[in-house]
Amino acid sequence: MGKAYFVGIDTGTNSSKGALIDEQGEILALHSTEHSMENPQPGYYEHDAERDWWGDFCTISRELLRKSGVDAKDVKAVGISALGADCVPVDEHCRPLRKAILYGIDARATDEMAELTALYGEEQILKWYGRPLCSSDVMPKILWIKRREPEVYARTHKFLTGSSYITAKLTGRYVVDRFLGLASFNPLYDPQTRKPVQEYCAPVCRPDQLAEILEAAEVAGTVTAEAAAETGLAEGTPVITGTDDSGAEAISCGVVESGKMMLQLGSSVYMILGTDSLIDDERLWREEFIVPGLCDISAGTNTAGSLTKWFRDELFPDALAAERAGGENAYQRMLEGVAEIPPGSEGLITLPYFAGERTPINDPDARGVLFGLTLQHTRAHLYRSALEAVGFGFSVNQQIRIMESHPEARIDRIIAVGGGAQNPLWMQIIADILGKEISTPQVTVGACYGDALMAALGVGNEGFEDYSSLMRYVRAGRTYAPDPKAHAAYEQYQAVYDALYDSTKELAHKLSSFVRG
């Protein structure tokens, strides 16, 4: 019997990445592509699902096979993840009927959130979600389409999220994994039967417009002849259901038991802490995790890498131009002088709500702030302050303190993954702010690696018996220990940061109302 190989492909906010691994979990090939996120008006964020999601998948799958030299027939399973939870309506041929409405960064459905809250009552909403409705929930997005684009709604065969769409394109079957379906589409599915609930669907959509719920690593189907022609994969290759990018990334770094936490530093920040039970906190989220029997408490922000990308494009055009001319990476150049600036950026604090914010404030109308600017500050100060903002207000410090306020939430280890984890200075800043050790895995490619591991698990390949067995493929990388002196300095700034949002909230909302008209 020949060797077995597994493919994992993840679609993110600004790029997609794929990995092809062997039976030992070794990566034989990697490939990534970039795509753009459309922002047609304030609070609206979209992707072209056919071009950005499926187009990237086809390109990456072909490149993985080419780079590795692996025969497509020796790929035993394919795993998928995608940014979640999005909403893309498709017709009966799985053709998108409009641009995909993105995850919590898209805040267009605020009126629908209020309408649904009034319909069901705040008490029932809290019972379902453990928190108020927010922009990460799919139900308001579907209702937005129904209210604002009735012609699209009338033609919709299924309302899908990113991973559902790609799996459907590969197999012809419409599925969503239990983790994503029960959390992001809540309360449209019954958590026990996993079937759509007519009573709760009625104000929003028809039950038949929803996908079928399966486990993330469960085989959903096989690659069709049409998909094989487009992707280069062999017809008949098993495809697992897949999941969202953050869940797959958590699997890739060993969040398969309680006490393990993933800190995902990508275009946005996402944190997942494994817990033994559901923990309600209105400021955060909680779900039954991908791993059967494991729950999680999670948090997500709207900017991280997208914020540093904005700094690159708007404040460091020379670094970007030099990179395009064959010079060093722009982000590396942007770090020049940053390490010499002391903690707190000499009195400069960035409120990083450049695209509104999810947890812990759940405010789509929040706005970014550069506070404390003086004539002595340089763009290096501005950039360091942006990096520090992730540690202050993104999911790192504020949100970990909220998690730790619950006795049931135990944090044994924090594992950082994603593009930001490859920036040693950023990692050290976050460790210093937190006053906690942060480690990175040896394999830092993220969600696509988790996808490939789950694909092997899904087809029962030897060595991939259950989720716990995946730990043997998660090898330790680098550990960042906090500097006590830097931590003490950051604690002073933390108090100012914590008060900054409340001090500017009313004015930010006024500005948002001016833009909306």
- Distance separating alpha carbons of residues 249 and 264, to the nearest angstrom: 7
**Local structure of 503: helix, strand or coil:** helix
DSSP-derived secondary structure letter, 99: P
Contact 8, 450 (CB under 8 A): yes
CA-based nearest residue to 264, from 134, 386, 454, 440: 440
Which ranges of 133-275 does DSSP label H, i.e. alpha helix? 138-148, 150-155, 162-171, 178-184, 198-201, 225-231, 245-252
Q: What is the widest separation between alpha-carbon atoms in the chain?
A: 69
Q: What local confidence, expressed as pLDDT, does residue 1 receive?
A: 56
Burial of 476 (0-12, 13-18, 19+ CB in 10 A): exposed
Q: How many CB atoms lie within 10 A of CB 127?
A: 12
Name the stretches of the chain with pLDDT < 70.
1, 392-395, 517
Burial of 443 (0-12, 13-18, 19+ CB in 10 A): buried
Q: What local confidence, expressed as pLDDT, does residue 517 receive?
A: 66
List the chain domain ranges.
Answer: 6-246, 257-446+476-517
The phi, psi pair for 193, rounded to 5°, reads: -85, -20
Contacts of 336 (CB under 8 A, 6+ apart): 380
Amino acid (1-letter code) at residue 36: S
- Distance separating alpha carbons of residues 462 and 464, to the nearest angstrom: 5
Q: Look-up: residue for tokens 């239990």?
A: 178
SS3 per-residue string spanning 26-73: CEEEEEEEECCCECCCCCCCEECHHHHHHHHHHHHHHHHHHHHCCCHH
E strand or H helix that includes residue 214: strand 212-214
DSSP-derived secondary structure letter, 415: E
Contacts of 154 (CB under 8 A, 6+ apart): none
Contact 197, 187 (CB under 8 A): yes
Contacts of 179 (CB under 8 A, 6+ apart): 216, 243, 244, 247, 287, 288, 289, 290
Q: What is the pTM of this model?
A: 0.85
Dihedral Cα 162, 163, 169, 175, nearest 10 deg: -120
DSSP-derived secondary structure letter, 407: T
- Distance separating alpha carbons of residues 398 and 171, to the nearest angstrom: 42
- Distance separating alpha carbons of residues 448 and 485, to the nearest angstrom: 37
Q: What local confidence, expressed as pLDDT, does residue 392 receive?
A: 65
Helices and strands (DSSP H and E) totals, the chain = 18, 22
- Classified by CATH at the fold level, domain 6-246 comes out as Nucleotidyltransferase; domain 5 (3.30.420)
Q: Look-up: residue for tokens 């096989």?
A: 222
What separation in angstroms does the CA of 94 have from each of 2, 170, 286?
35, 11, 31
Q: What local confidence, expressed as pLDDT, does residue 105 receive?
A: 87
Q: What local confidence, expressed as pLDDT, does residue 2 receive?
A: 73
Query: Is-same-fold flag (6-246; 257-446+476-517)?
Result: yes
DSSP string of 315-377? H-HHHHHHHHTT-S-HHHHHTTTTTTSPTTTTT-EEE--BTBB-TTT-BTT---EEES--TT-
- Distance separating alpha carbons of residues 476 and 153, to the nearest angstrom: 48
Cα dihedral sign for 9, 10, 16, 18? negative
Buried b (16+ CB within 10 A) or exposed e, 365-399: bbbbbeebeeeebeebbbbbbbbbbbbbbbbbbbb
Digit-coded pLDDT (tens) for 448-502: 999 999 999 999 999 999 999 999 998 889 999 999 999 999 999 998 998 999 9
Q: What is the CATH number of domain 257-446+476-517?
A: 3.30.420.40
Q: What local confidence, expressed as pLDDT, does residue 290 receive?
A: 97
